[in-house]
Amino acid sequence: MRLILLGAPGVGKGTQATLISKALSIPHISTGDMFRYHISNNTDLGMKAKQYIEKGMLVPDEITVGMVADRLKQEDCQNGFVLDGFPRTIQQATFLDKILKDLNIQLDMVINITLDDRNIISRLSGRRICPRCNAVYHIEDKPPKNDGVCDNCNTKLIQREDDKEETIIKRLQVYHSQSEPILEYYKNKVKIVNIESHKLIEVTTKRVFDALGVDYKMLNVC
């Protein structure tokens, strides 16, 4: 199955893509993960991408599209994939069409996960990360046992630059202006399913898997 997961920052695309990948045994292709890898390893690509990500801006296509094209050509994508975080602009969607045409691949579905901006801001601005073990917390929904300190390794938690409220607002503005139009682009090209993100991850997951025609409980992914 070849899938695209769309949605604003903070709606839970990454979590759902990971579960789909596990359940269907297809690779989860996340441009965000790719960028974080390059940033943490201080590569040239990572340093270029970091300038945009920390400002809540989209990484320019010339930095992104070649990386995605190479990934889709790898052997583990032959039986399917789930794209998370790409495409984010009409130009990227057009580029993806060309890649898939060259590879003689057709998309099966676009899953659009929705959530209002107010809840997105609350979700993301409350998130805290352990810089040592990468554990993720939330000051309201999943607080650490000791305020500001990781339960696993006792390291002081941090708030990522792209989780600060002013950056989130900027990211949402960019999403609404540049990424939302992608839904119209795919309207007559492939099946689109809109799914509202729920506070409980398992509720969102059931909605996603129902759309895919898969019983997630039987697959024991949650």
For every residue of 48-79, DSSP letters joined together read HHHHHHTTTPPPPHHHHHHHHHHHHTSGGGTT
Which residues are known to be catalytic? 13, 88, 127, 160, 171
Indicate the pTM of the whole model: 0.82
- The region of weakest confidence among 4-8, 53-57, 133-137, 192-196 is 53-57
CATH topology of domain 2-115+178-219: Rossmann fold (3.40.50)
pLDDT tens-digit series, residues 17-51: 999 999 999 999 998 787 887 888 888 888 888 88
Whether the per-residue pLDDT at 95 is higher than 70: the answer is yes
List the chain domain ranges.
2-115+178-219
d(C-alpha 116, C-alpha 196), whole Å: 9
Give Cβ neighbours of residue 5 (< 8 Å, ≥ 6 apart): 13, 16, 17, 20, 82, 83, 84, 111, 113
